Amino acid sequence: MRFDPPEASLILADVRRALAEDLGPGDATADLLPAEAMAQAYVITREAAVLCGQDWFEACFRELDADMAITWHATDGDRLDAGQTFVEMCGSARALVSAERCALNFVQTLSATATVTAAHAAAVAGTRTRILDTRKTLPGLRIAQKYAVRCGGGSNHRIGLFDAMLIKENHIAAAGSLTAAVRAARAYHPQLLLEVEVENFAELDEALAAGVDRVMLDEFSDADLGRAVAQVAGRAEIEVSGGVDFSRLKNIAASGVDFISVGALTKHVRAIDLSMRVKLNPK
Amino acid sequence: MRFDPPEASLILADVRRALAEDLGPGDATADLLPAEAMAQAYVITREAAVLCGQDWFEACFRELDADMAITWHATDGDRLDAGQTFVEMCGSARALVSAERCALNFVQTLSATATVTAAHAAAVAGTRTRILDTRKTLPGLRIAQKYAVRCGGGSNHRIGLFDAMLIKENHIAAAGSLTAAVRAARAYHPQLLLEVEVENFAELDEALAAGVDRVMLDEFSDADLGRAVAQVAGRAEIEVSGGVDFSRLKNIAASGVDFISVGALTKHVRAIDLSMRVKLNPK
Amino acid sequence: MRFDPPEASLILADVRRALAEDLGPGDATADLLPAEAMAQAYVITREAAVLCGQDWFEACFRELDADMAITWHATDGDRLDAGQTFVEMCGSARALVSAERCALNFVQTLSATATVTAAHAAAVAGTRTRILDTRKTLPGLRIAQKYAVRCGGGSNHRIGLFDAMLIKENHIAAAGSLTAAVRAARAYHPQLLLEVEVENFAELDEALAAGVDRVMLDEFSDADLGRAVAQVAGRAEIEVSGGVDFSRLKNIAASGVDFISVGALTKHVRAIDLSMRVKLNPK
Amino acid sequence: MRFDPPEASLILADVRRALAEDLGPGDATADLLPAEAMAQAYVITREAAVLCGQDWFEACFRELDADMAITWHATDGDRLDAGQTFVEMCGSARALVSAERCALNFVQTLSATATVTAAHAAAVAGTRTRILDTRKTLPGLRIAQKYAVRCGGGSNHRIGLFDAMLIKENHIAAAGSLTAAVRAARAYHPQLLLEVEVENFAELDEALAAGVDRVMLDEFSDADLGRAVAQVAGRAEIEVSGGVDFSRLKNIAASGVDFISVGALTKHVRAIDLSMRVKLNPK
Amino acid sequence: MRFDPPEASLILADVRRALAEDLGPGDATADLLPAEAMAQAYVITREAAVLCGQDWFEACFRELDADMAITWHATDGDRLDAGQTFVEMCGSARALVSAERCALNFVQTLSATATVTAAHAAAVAGTRTRILDTRKTLPGLRIAQKYAVRCGGGSNHRIGLFDAMLIKENHIAAAGSLTAAVRAARAYHPQLLLEVEVENFAELDEALAAGVDRVMLDEFSDADLGRAVAQVAGRAEIEVSGGVDFSRLKNIAASGVDFISVGALTKHVRAIDLSMRVKLNPK
Amino acid sequence: MRFDPPEASLILADVRRALAEDLGPGDATADLLPAEAMAQAYVITREAAVLCGQDWFEACFRELDADMAITWHATDGDRLDAGQTFVEMCGSARALVSAERCALNFVQTLSATATVTAAHAAAVAGTRTRILDTRKTLPGLRIAQKYAVRCGGGSNHRIGLFDAMLIKENHIAAAGSLTAAVRAARAYHPQLLLEVEVENFAELDEALAAGVDRVMLDEFSDADLGRAVAQVAGRAEIEVSGGVDFSRLKNIAASGVDFISVGALTKHVRAIDLSMRVKLNPK
């Protein structure tokens, strides 16, 4: 199982921004540790979680000590038990202490998304339905969070406004009709997936006739979802959106839709409780 | 009541990073709206909240339409009722649609922190105790989140490792003793607040004798907190930290400590549920 | 007719990079003009062309004189005759002289792409076939060149490796089979257009069976193109690529394919011959 | 023979900008290749060319795989025959496939300039005349193109407006006279080469009397060039500019001028036709 | 003795900015040295000085030749005698020649600050008084200069407006009273050192009553300083500021104040006279 | 009299760097002033000086309050008397207080260079000799300091290693002879001024024979300078360098050389003593 982390340069930019916030002109207390002191450290999780953020974690320490030795006992996407030690480090004591908070902040935040995604994915396991993320993300962390969704077993919706088209009511109003909007969109961007948000069966019919790639069903009841799947009959992918509650996931998946998109994966965060212990080497 | 948002250039950097994530090479669907079309829009909150993020919200739209008119019906720090319309806009339809998601992501994330901080502050109202944040923040958003804490009625702990000194067990081990660590820290950075984490009464005594500005009591019971307050007797500020549960806040405050620092304010996020409506102007 | 230029911030970045190259620490000869001198200027094209680059042109001058008055007599996408004056300016003499070369470099380069694209589009006019660009672009100018293609009446293929998937022989070899590669790609990125490069009819059949969105026919003869169109029968879009010569465009279009992608639009540049005249205002 | 490429940091900036354009949030198809797969690759040129761009090419691959092995069979400035394999690589399969297009875009663009420059230099070989470039360059690629001109056997004119002074008609008008303009320019920037554009023999005399370093003869006939060379008699360098056609180069050089500056070297690009083959290593 | 240089990334940013100024598009004369030539070099100081700037010096050379061998015969903070060779290098001849000026500029500037600070520190040696710097620094070099102050045996005042609070007359006027200003400041930033500038004994009393951490005595006579020390009686730290002349340092220190802040340490620079010799290796 | 300040974007970069150093995450004490409070301010110089730095000063305040009204009573290059008020401002009280230190740091530093340059220029007034600066500058402030030299009546030597060539002993050693070095340099960079450092009359002859633009006489006695001027006889410009003491300027100028370059203009700084007064407007 692989989850293809973002390009290294994007991760490094995230890490440098975080270190700049925390270290600014320098760690005032690192001065208390000798420049040449070495230390060992390890991190445990105090609660069960799906791990995510290895590359960010490593980059935080490597920015301050390029030679830091880091040994992982788990890989992004792995389930961790409460109390499990999942990474050990050995290197400059100052680097360990100065980068600790930033490194943990990344892992506790991204593992939170991976963990909640895994719960959603488990709820629809065994069906054709897959869990998608949305553009409701933490500002500045979208690419990282989308990776976390993959680590949790979810799939990514578009990254942003540029790599797929979702036609909504305002676009339709501006174009004059749903059909006109679809035609214009195809002409502008023939290479992009084209999805239309529909609110009723008449719009669904018009979208299918216009030849869209995917329809987003907005606030359809469970019963209507079944009817919509039958009506679409494989002519387009079906995505369900609109404030989906966790408890409804199973029912929606049972209707046979392709995707359920869930804002909660990335807009809410319940940081995983991690703890890092540092032990200075005796001189 | 004022909360002093960060310098405009910091806010702009946050906003540009978020827009770059979402718009990248351009909003593929903005093409469906005429370049010159104007629209009106407003945002409501679907749940009660403390507002935070006005400057980020404005900057998202102003980056795309410098002339966007934005009228606020509330101010950062104000409590919003469920269903309340708190801002209205008028400007380029494309700018409204293209910047919508980024603008809402900022407000839903920062208002989340302000709202949960307000609940914590309310729990200790009427005591001398104040709620502090920590360095457990969302990577890249620390300055923004610290502002949100102020909007919610909390106070800020240090921004990062550079603007105050918190001496922990590893520093003490490296320096040889708590007293030696305090002396070295004062020598290096005489202008910074000096706080020491203590785990028992012996350490507390040593810290007070060494002349620290503040002590952090780590995992003290309620009973021990009272004893500690008595022992300190105003010679230093007292901060309680270490996984403080919301239900314990009142009891801790009753002991007379100065500060309770709460990681949950900024490491967890339960995004406020917002909705923006856009209405194209007729031609 | 509209062509939706890139976001203003991307254009500004292009312009600032170009001004930095040319002005570096400052225009040594601008010193010869009084700081407060005003001038008028206009630009003519010495050859017929399709205009492209207005926003870059304006930004070059506005960076040096925010109040420069700029009056256009044509719009991006318009055909210009040889000898036609298409823009007039009035503002700081120094700004006019210092920004002239950068501004012209943008317009002569981008109009070159628009002009050659228009010739290609004209060659297939009246057919269902559309002209696409490729990723063979001038380093650093891709977004600008893709806009120029639109101004010339062409359509854009994917921007880069991130917004659509083109599966080639190496991907197929790694996945084990074309079908396996398609399945894996869909799983990783369900929201992206999926195209497969095929070299013969057996591969074409396999691609259609795997349900791709588009096939790229690599070096098919005109006769084989007709057979391929019949075989596809609307089940996928068809793109012809692979070193297409201008003289073959009509024949290829006659076969009924959807797209012809042409590297020459953006990898070759025959800059349009422009001339700017500046006239200092008498004191 | 050496051509002194630009400082490594400038090359890296070019390369990162190009990779950002093409990879943005990540290569969607790289996911199809195993993260640990290795591959071999080589590049051939399908047409005769003068090679240019080694450092850019290497940096593209090394950004994605710092350990990529790259073996060159030619050096910048070397003539390549059609069909010649000029570089071989061995490293991460993903890195090879993801960086291929950017790397080739640099070499095909810069070799184009080197190749056309070499043809111009050959046309004046055996004379004292040297071929110069101009400021008519591709926005963002000036330093790289100026290096390509050197690789092709040409010489560089000034980099931009800051490192030499070319006094034109507007500067003269502002200063009151050619002599006054020269005097002011010398006073402002005594360390910069001072060139004046002259359109007739009277201006030429005035320029020589004012003590300029170089004169630019604008649109002089072949006969007038001879007379000008005689009149200058070594008191200044002579540059011929103004839309010089390739066929006229020999005649101009025969007149004995020092330099011919040619905008076509850098404003036009006819990309060299390159092909890269990648072969995955068997597992 | 250790002085904890700024984080490596801050130093690198300083160095890159300086190299960009000096090298811009490239060292035109480095071309005269063979690309592969090696050389040896050493630096002597022509006058006695306290060394400061090793990391900046090294980074200048390492940016151009990552493998440059650099051997130090002294360490930041060490006193150098006139004529002493303090560093030797061996590496690329071009790198040595191209980076020489930038590297020396850093060391001659920072050692200047270290040297003058050491003189001030010596003047108050044996007393409790310590020498502080101020915010009167060279724009862009504050962090570097503050490090130089530490190397010279001084202590740092706040880095900027963000890491400590100095309440002055305008703040007091706005708040209504000194006491009100102190109270508000404590409420806003409980974790920051709070200092108040006082101009007479009444203000001093009010500041002490308000519980400030430090008082800044502005233009107090030597006699008044003694009275102030007695009045404060250890209840706050005492800083003397306001155009302190070198000759007065001893007298001020004799009064028993904690700190004397001296703008001259960082706003004036008398660059140390250094000389670097480069010797090309025979081929 | 005009001195052509650097491009606005360069000035803005200087200013933003300085503000970032001083304000970082925000001015902690600005909170004490009401956000909407207005104030008036003025700056006096406590000593005679030549003013320099208006654009940097303005940009500091305008970054924090775009509407700040700024009225100048003097212009860059003007002589100020001790006690003279040279600028008045009116705008946001917070912006005035927060930007004050940065703005003054620029003017006190740049006016120092302008002032000392003016003294040097006065010493050679009435002769043909002009005062030049060097590359011995404060890291990061070279362009600004070179402007200050012009404001003081000096001329600029080359900006950096890229815009003129100074051939020294190592270049000559590498090339084999002075003549060979000059020939190679001309071939590489025909558009750059070519200067050679000579240490005796034999080298001077060789340089003149090789046709250099300028010679730098290194440590020649006054008597030898006269002989050198006679020997050069107008065939090249003459620059005197090498630790020139202020008291020797007159004698050197009397010898008839063209330029004296003086490192002390920019490597030493004796900041001008300025004072800014802020007066809050009554509510």
Q: What is the structure's pLDDT at B1?
A: 44
On whether residue C34 sits in a domain, the answer given is: yes
Among all residues of chain D, which has the CA nearest to that of C282? D174
Residue F42, both tokens: 């003025």
Q: Is D7 a catalytic residue?
A: no
Q: Is E136 a catalytic residue?
A: yes
Rg of the Cα atoms in chain A = 23
pLDDT one-digit tens code per residue, D182-220: 999 998 888 899 999 999 999 999 999 999 999 999 889
- Residues C190, A130: C-beta atoms closer than 8 Å: yes
- B140 and B79 share one domain: no
Which residues of A belong to the active site?
101, 136, 168, 197, 218
Among all residues of chain E, which has the CA nearest to that of B156? E189
Which residues of C belong to the active site?
101, 136, 168, 197, 218
Neighbouring CB atoms inside 10 A of D67's CB total 10
- Residues B31, A185: C-beta atoms closer than 8 Å: yes
Q: With bands split at pLDDT 50, 70 and 90, how would you rate the model's confidence at D229?
A: very high
Q: Which of B161, B191, B235 to mutate to test the interface with E (most CBs of E within 10 A)?
A: B191
- A55 and A162 share one domain: no
pLDDT one-digit tens code per residue, E43-71: 999 999 999 999 999 999 999 998 999 99
- C192 and C59 share one domain: no
The number of residues making up chain B comes to: 283
On whether residue D113 sits in a domain, the answer given is: yes
Among all residues of chain F, which has the CA nearest to that of B159? F25
Q: Please give the residue that has the higher pLDDT: either D153 or D8.
A: D153
Q: What is the structure's pLDDT at D188?
A: 85
How many helices (H) and strands (E) are present in chain B, helices listed first?
A: 10, 12
Q: With bands split at pLDDT 50, 70 and 90, how would you rate the model's confidence at D130?
A: very high
Q: E1 has which bridge partners?
A: none
Residues of A within an 8 Å Cβ radius of E:
16, 19, 23, 25-26, 30-31, 34-35, 63-64
- C173 and C273 share one domain: no
Low-confidence ranges of chain E (pLDDT < 70): 1-3, 242, 283
Residues of D in contact with F192 (CB under 8 A): 163-164, 193
Q: Which of B12, B17, B22, B23 to mutate to test the interface with C (most CBs of C within 10 A)?
A: B23
Q: In sequence order, which residues have a C-beta less than 8 Å from that of residue E32 and are 6 or more positions away?
A: F167, F171, F174, F175, F181, F184, F185, F188
- Residues F26, B143: C-beta atoms closer than 8 Å: yes
Q: With bands split at pLDDT 50, 70 and 90, how would you rate the model's confidence at F46?
A: very high
DSSP one-letter string for E137-177:
--TT-HHHHHHHHHHTT-B---SSTTSSEEE-HHHHHHHSS
Q: With bands split at pLDDT 50, 70 and 90, how would you rate the model's confidence at F283?
A: low
**CA dist., res. E121 & res. E253, Å (int):** 11
Cβ atoms of residues A56 and A14 within 8 Å: yes
Residues of A in contact with D19 (CB under 8 A): 9
- F243 and F197 share one domain: yes
Query: Mean pLDDT across chain B, nearest whole number?
Result: 93
Q: Is D250 a catalytic residue?
A: no
Q: What is the structure's pLDDT at F120?
A: 97
C-alpha distance from F16 to closest chain B C-alpha (Å) = 9
Neighbouring CB atoms inside 10 A of B69's CB total 11
User: Above 70 in pLDDT, residue D1?
Assistant: no
Residues of E in contact with B4 (CB under 8 A): 188
Choose the weakest-confidence range: B188-192, D54-58, D101-105.
B188-192
Q: Which of C138, C191, C194, C213 to mutate to test the interface with D (most CBs of D within 10 A)?
A: C138
Residues of F in contact with B3 (CB under 8 A): none
Q: What is the structure's pLDDT at E283?
A: 63
- Residues F24, E280: C-beta atoms closer than 8 Å: no
Residues of E in contact with F184 (CB under 8 A): 31-32
User: Above 60 in pLDDT, residue D253?
Assistant: yes
> In terms of residue numbers, what domain contains D114?
8-121+269-280
On whether residue E251 sits in a domain, the answer given is: yes
**CA dist., res. F170 & res. F16, Å (int):** 39
User: Above 60 in pLDDT, residue F1?
Assistant: no
Q: What is the structure's pLDDT at B60?
A: 96
Q: What is the structure's pLDDT at E239?
A: 97
Give, rounded to a whole angstrom, the gap between the first and last alpha carbons of chain E: 43
Task: Tell me the three state secondary structure of residue D141.
Answer: coil
User: Above 90 in pLDDT, residue B95?
Assistant: yes
Query: Mean pLDDT across chain D, nearest whole number?
Result: 93
Q: Is E279 a catalytic residue?
A: no
DSSP secondary structure code for residue A79 in this structure: E
- Residues C191, A162: C-beta atoms closer than 8 Å: no
C-alpha distance from A279 to closest chain E C-alpha (Å) = 22
Among residues F109, F54, F47, the alpha carbon closest in space to that of F79 is found at F47
On whether residue F1 sits in a domain, the answer given is: no
- C142 and C96 share one domain: no
On whether residue B69 sits in a domain, the answer given is: yes
Q: What is the structure's pLDDT at A1?
A: 43
C-alpha distance from C32 to closest chain A C-alpha (Å) = 43
Q: What is the structure's pLDDT at B30?
A: 83
pLDDT one-digit tens code per residue, B41-90: 999 999 999 999 999 999 999 999 989 999 999 999 999 999 999 999 99
Among all residues of chain A, which has the CA nearest to that of E144? A25
Q: What is the structure's pLDDT at E1?
A: 44
Residues of E in contact with B175 (CB under 8 A): none
On whether residue A3 sits in a domain, the answer given is: no
Residue C38, both tokens: 């005003």
CATH number of the CATH domain containing D229: 3.20.20.70
Q: What is the structure's pLDDT at C283?
A: 63
- C250 and C129 share one domain: yes
Residues of B within an 8 Å Cβ radius of F:
2, 4, 6-10, 143, 146, 159
Residues of B in contact with A36 (CB under 8 A): none
Residue E228, both tokens: 């102030």
Mean local confidence (pLDDT), D27-50: 92
Cβ atoms of residues B131 and B235 within 8 Å: no
How many separate domains does chain C show? 2
Choose the weakest-confidence range: A174-183, B118-127, D2-11.
D2-11
Partner chains of A (3+ C-beta pairs under 8 Å): B, C, D, E, F
Partner chains of B (3+ C-beta pairs under 8 Å): A, C, D, E, F
Choose the weakest-confidence range: B270-274, C186-190, F141-145.
C186-190
C-alpha distance from A202 to closest chain B C-alpha (Å) = 22
Cβ atoms of residues D41 and D104 within 8 Å: no
- B233 and B257 share one domain: yes
Tokens 């023979």 belong to residue: D1
- B82 and B154 share one domain: no
Q: With bands split at pLDDT 50, 70 and 90, how would you rate the model's confidence at B283?
A: low
CATH number of the CATH domain containing F52: 3.90.1170.20
Name the residue among C30, C160, C267 with its Cβ closest to that of D22.
C160
Name the residue among A32, A109, A188 with its Cβ closest to that of B138.
A109
Residue C143's alpha-carbon distances to C55, C134, C148, C160, D186, in angstroms, are 13, 12, 9, 10, 42
On whether residue B63 sits in a domain, the answer given is: yes
**CA dist., res. B237 & res. B216, Å (int):** 9
pTM, 2 dp: 0.89
Residues of C in contact with F4 (CB under 8 A): 26, 30-31, 35
- Residues E10, A25: C-beta atoms closer than 8 Å: yes
Low-confidence ranges of chain C (pLDDT < 70): 1-3, 242, 283
Q: What ipTM describes this predicted complex?
A: 0.96
- F143 and F223 share one domain: yes
Residues of E in contact with F270 (CB under 8 A): 268
On whether residue B149 sits in a domain, the answer given is: yes
Q: What is the structure's pLDDT at F187?
A: 87
Distance of CA F132 to the CA centre of its chain: 9
- A63 and A150 share one domain: no
C-alpha distance from E4 to closest chain A C-alpha (Å) = 7
- Residues D171, C37: C-beta atoms closer than 8 Å: no
C-alpha distance from E27 to closest chain C C-alpha (Å) = 15
Q: What is the structure's pLDDT at A248?
A: 92
Q: Which of E22, E47, E205, E218 is catalytic?
A: E218
Rg of the Cα atoms in chain F = 23
Name the residue among C14, C30, C98 with its Cβ closest to that of D139.
C14
Residues of F in contact with E32 (CB under 8 A): 167, 171, 174-175, 181, 184-185, 188
Q: What is the structure's pLDDT at A76?
A: 96
- F97 and F141 share one domain: no
Calculate the CA dihedral of residues B162, B165, B168, B172 and round it to 10 degrees.
110
